[in-house]
Amino acid sequence: MNPGEVFFFLFGAAVLVSAFFVVTATNVVRAALWLVGALLGVAALYLLLGAGFLGWVQVLVYVGAIVVLILFGLMVTRAPIGRQRLETGEWWLGAGVSLVLLLLLSFIAARAFPGARISLEGSALTGTGLGIFNPRYVLPFELVSLLLLAALVGAILLARREQ
Amino acid sequence: MSLPLHFPLVLAAALFALGAYAVVARRNGVLVLMGVELMLNAVNLNLVSFWAYLRDSLLAGQVFALFVVAVAAAEVGVGLAIVILLFRTRETASFEEADLFRW
């Protein structure tokens, strides 16, 4: 087992344990805090795979912005903080769907690429900027900025109090 | 130093399955949104793994993952606005009681 695999198992175990507590926590604020752990673990995996820029974007946007937004959402909706039923009556349906997805996807993923290995040598921190600002990606880049603007306007319009 | 390609793929499958469980089984709207975030992260992990495998010069996997992050930010903004609106009109953040269109 080489160092890359050791670090992968370390970060992967952290991601899976945190994600498990996100979906099973009986306290909504704790679920949000476990989500921070899962997202940080995924960011560490990006760094391990050589996608340094994306890893730090993950920390900045997900941990810095989205989790804070979710915590604000919990505060504004006065979500139940104490112990109480957070699952629907059909939680067994969710467990079944989840189990089938897990078995099917991991079976396909494990069988589809026999012997394929990812090389972990070298990071592409400088290359990513050039990749994003490649002229090929100008149109999707502008479209995403329009989408964010539309979502912002829509969110304000939805959450605004009627006068 | 290298890593079998299917390790991150299986991890992403497990993350996706956990997110799907949260989306189906959780009542609170904010917890459902957290499940969606987990699923989007699983997809991003797949994109980055295949980029690391192929190492294409356009960095397509990484750029796609960045676009997914931007769309996820838009999604969580609109989603939380809907949950807040639901709480204001129905006094609850539970998706089970959002049944205005059910008959």
pLDDT at position B2, please?
A: 86
Whether B2 and A4 lie within 8 Å, measured CB to CB:
yes
| A35 contact residues in B (CB cutoff 8 A) | 34, 37-38
Distance, CA of B28 to CA of B97 (rounded, Å) = 10
DSSP state of A162: P
pLDDT at position B94, please?
A: 81
Whether B74 and A148 lie within 8 Å, measured CB to CB:
yes
Whether A91 and B18 lie within 8 Å, measured CB to CB:
no
- Over its length of 163 residues, how does chain A's per-residue pLDDT go in tens digits? 788 899 999 999 999 999 999 999 888 889 999 999 999 999 999 999 988 889 999 999 999 999 999 998 888 887 665 556 777 778 889 899 999 999 999 999 989 888 888 888 765 566 666 667 778 888 999 999 999 999 999 999 988 877 6
pLDDT at position A74, please?
A: 87
Distance, CA of A107 to CA of A156 (rounded, Å) = 43
Residue B96: band (very low, low, confident or very high) from pLDDT cuts 50, 70, 90: confident
Distance, CA of A85 to CA of A64 (rounded, Å) = 29
Distance, CA of A3 to CA of A32 (rounded, Å) = 31
pTM: 0.91
ipTM computed for the complex: 0.92
pLDDT at position A137, please?
A: 87
Q: Give φ, ψ of A102 to 5 degrees.
A: -60, -50
Identify from A23, A74, A125, A149 which residue to disrupt to test chain B contact, counting B C-beta atoms within 10 A and taking the largest count.
A23
What residues contact residue A109 under an 8 Å CB cut-off, 6+ apart?
B6, B9, B10, B12, B13
- DSSP string for residues in B54-101: H--TT-HHHHHHHHHHHHHHHHHHHHHHHHHHHHHHHS--BGGG--TT
pLDDT tens-place string over residues B12-68? 999 999 999 999 998 888 999 999 999 999 999 999 999 999 888 788 888 899 999
Per DSSP, what are the bridge partners of residue A118?
Answer: B3
3-state DSSP percent of chain B in helix, strand and coil, to 5? 80, 5, 15
pLDDT at position A73, please?
A: 87
Closest residue in chain B to residue A30, using alpha carbons only: B31
Query: Is pLDDT at B103 greater than 70 in this prediction?
Result: no
Distance, CA of A78 to CA of B30 (rounded, Å) = 11
Whether B26 and A152 lie within 8 Å, measured CB to CB:
no
